Amino acid sequence: MPASFTQQLRDSAAEQWAREQAHPFVTGLGDGTLPVATFRYYMRQDYVFLVGYCRAVALVVAKAERLDEMAWFSRLLDETLNTEMALHVSFCADFGITEDELLSTAPSPTTTAYVDHLVTTAYSGTAPEAAMALLPCAWGYAEIGARLADAGAPESQPLYGRWIEMYADPEFAALAEWLRGYIDRSAEGTGEAGRQRLADIFEVSTRYEYMFWDAAYRLEG
- The three-class DSSP label of residue 95 is coil
Q: How many CB atoms lie within 10 A of CB 110?
A: 19
Tell me if residue 203 is catalytic. Answer: no
What's the rounded Cα separation, in Å, for the pair 66 and 83?
25
* CB distance 218 to 55 below 8 Å: no
Sign of CA dihedral 8, 12, 16, 21: positive
Q: Which of 20, 69, 143, 209 is catalytic?
A: 209
Q: Which of 54, 137, 188, 192 is catalytic?
A: 137
Residue 93 contacts residue 112 (beta carbons within 8 Å): no
**Residue 137 falls in the annotated catalytic set:** yes
Q: How far apart are CA 207 and CA 98, in angstroms?
A: 30
Please give the DSSP secondary-structure letter assigned to residue 4. Answer: P
Q: Report DSSP state, residue 220.
A: -
Listed in sequence order, the residues at least 6 apart from 68 whose beta carbon sits closer than 8 Å to its beta carbon are: none
Residues annotated as part of the active site: 137, 209
